[in-house]
Amino acid sequence: MGKEVGRLSYLDWLRVLAVFGVFLFHSLRPFDDADWHVKNAERSEGISIAIAFLGLWGLAFFFLLSGAGAWLALRWRTAGGFVKERLLRLLLPFVIVYVLLSPPQYLLEEHHKGRPGASLQAFFSDLGGDAPLWLRDTYHLWFLVYLLQFALLGLPIFLWLRGPHGRRLVDWIVQRCLRRGTILLLAVPLVPVHLVLLAAPGPDHGWGEFVFFFDFFVVGFLVLSDDRLAAAVRRDAVPGLILGITAFVTGVATAIIDFLEGWWEDPGYSWPYVWYSLLITFAVWGWLVAVLGGGMRLRAFQRPLPTPLARAAMPFFLVHQPIILLIAFYVVDWNAGLWTKYAVLMPAAFLVSAGLAWLLSTLPGVSVLFGVKRQSVPVEHRPDRAKEERLGE
């Protein structure tokens, strides 16, 4: 299995950066060409390309980090303890935030789009939704719905990978990733899975997207489960970047974005779909290797993340989109240019979100409801768990 690793501070830093990346993604959504909850009259093709780029690998990176976190958690938790912790850290804040913040987002969207009949009674009258979300109007909380299901579905796989048969498979994979650039070949077995199951990110958060992100959740666990695979990712950060850039540029040059607009309406098998599936799988994996490997290399990321920043990350994720929608609801109606509006929206939403997240993370009792880990006993007094406490989540 390789040597035991200590605290992995770079994962903390990357998780915070991923949360900020989601914030940037959502702050741009009022100004891209696609439909969203609140839209500006003037749109930007450049922003649409930026959104496509961030969405291509950013969410997969979030799930990769979550898979890595599952490995860290299972290093000292039992399977039952792991499930209990996931329910507390994911299901509880989901229920709280869904009840408190989804209705305001629903009302803002309905009023912005001029649809009559919007009310709290209308929102709560029928909450049922299609699988795999199961609920209607989850907004940005779909990530937590996915993640909770991923944890439950991935647990048997993770326990098997820790067993003798699983370790033999991991060793076999390691032997094929020893040479420079070969860690990028981990995308190869994912391609046929994505092809057969029509698995790709999409606007509807359906089963295809579910499978696509679950694959990278499992890969995150796999990479962190063996320090030789982690070392291969660190080694191949530059080849990963080259692959990610090349695949993305190739996709833009071959009109993949235009293809997707029609394919999302009617997913099916075709030669353009085969090309798209191959391209997006390698593009995403290349970017994930580049960013994860870069995080491993950066000296600044080897220092512990400040505790207030670590504790505020989850509350920030939970509250940021409703705040963006609230401010955008008013900003998009201003008689001003697109970039003037964005220059107001982005920093204002960030400051309000950060301030509210910090407040929620410091309030006793309340912080747990928003996914902040309990701090019952100082880590320095628990040497058996000191290495895992920061990242076993």
Answering whether pTM is above 0.85, one says yes
Residue 2 domain flag: no
DSSP code string of 257-313:
HHHHHHHTTS----HHHHHHHHHHHHHHHHHHHHHHHHHHH-GGGGSPPPHHHHHHH
Instruction: Count structural domains, the chain.
Output: 1
Nearest to 98 by CA among 337, 376, 392, 369: 369
Residue 211's domain comprises 9-389
Span 269-296, pLDDT tens digits: 999 899 999 999 999 999 999 999 999 9
Residue 1 domain flag: no
Bridge partners, 128 (sequence order): 135
Residue 144 domain flag: yes
Q: Rounded to an integer, what distance in angstroms lies between the CA atom of residue 391 and that of residue 46?
A: 36
> What residues have CB less than 8 Å from 182, skipping those under 6 apart?
176, 232, 236
Amino acid identity of residue 384, one-letter, is: D
Nearest to 290 by CA among 28, 58, 46: 58
Checking if the pLDDT of 377 tops 60, the result is: no
Residue 3 domain flag: no
Checking if the pLDDT of 16 tops 50, the result is: yes
Checking if the pLDDT of 227 tops 70, the result is: yes
Span 43-95, pLDDT tens digits: 998 998 888 888 878 999 999 999 999 999 998 889 999 999 999 999 999 99
Residue 4 domain flag: no
Span 162-219, pLDDT tens digits: 999 999 999 999 999 999 999 999 999 999 999 999 998 877 888 999 999 999 999 9
Checking if the pLDDT of 5 tops 50, the result is: no
